[in-house]
Homo-oligomer: A and B are copies of this chain.
Amino acid sequence: MKQIPYSFDLNQPDFIPSTYDNHIKRHLSAMKGQYLDQQAFDAMMNDDPLLYEVYELQRPTVEGELLHGISIVHPGKVGNEFNMTKGHFHEVLDTGEIYYCLKGHGYMVMETPEGEWAVEVLYPGRVLYVLPRWAHRSVNISLQEDLITFFVYPGDAGHDYGTIEQQGFRKLIIDKDGEPAIVDNPRWGVSETA
């Protein structure tokens, strides 16, 4: 664990700093119940492709620290839904998160426990502030290149993946005749893991 301030480069093309010591890989099998097209999902499970990766530096998970890392969502679709992250609320719900887009083209799909939803676009140079209370999921709407973002969140925020695993997001991002479209999730709120 570093005891003095540290700096590192985010360089093209992959933007992965060698400083980072935690590498998380999420394959399709981690996304059970999240994609609408179950047949397409099952057909792809033989290969269990890598959908996204996260690089982080391990720091104390306490208030006052800022956890930061790189998220890489690879291009692709499951059925007509674009590749995406699991998405999560923060365990400490009243904590926000800042994203800075480094590469690619994406949507951030967000919602609150109270039923509000929002979708914001991501492309290089764009900053997004996910307000406290908002669950968030990155979606890569390019079929050619990675969506790469740098993120910062409070050290004590934690991750609540379970709520989204159970109920999904209210909105899905699908490829509609070559354009990304925001549509209602017909299975929202239905237990996905039952």
Which A residues are closer than 8 A to B by beta carbons? 2-11, 17, 57, 63-66, 68, 92, 94-98, 100, 108, 110, 116, 118, 120-122, 125-132, 134, 136, 150, 152-154, 157
Contacts and interface: CB of A to CB of B under 8 A. Distances in A.
Contacts of A6: 120, 128-129
A129 B10 contact: no
Nearest to A134: B5
A64 B132 contact: yes
B68 A127 contact: yes
A117 B114 CA distance: 46
A120 B7 contact: yes
Closest 7 interchain pairs by CB? A7-B128, A64-B95, A64-B94, A7-B120, A66-B96, A64-B132, A152-B152
Contacts of A5: 108, 110, 118, 120, 128-131, 134, 136
A154 B155 CA distance: 10
Nearest to A155: B96
A11 B127 contact: no
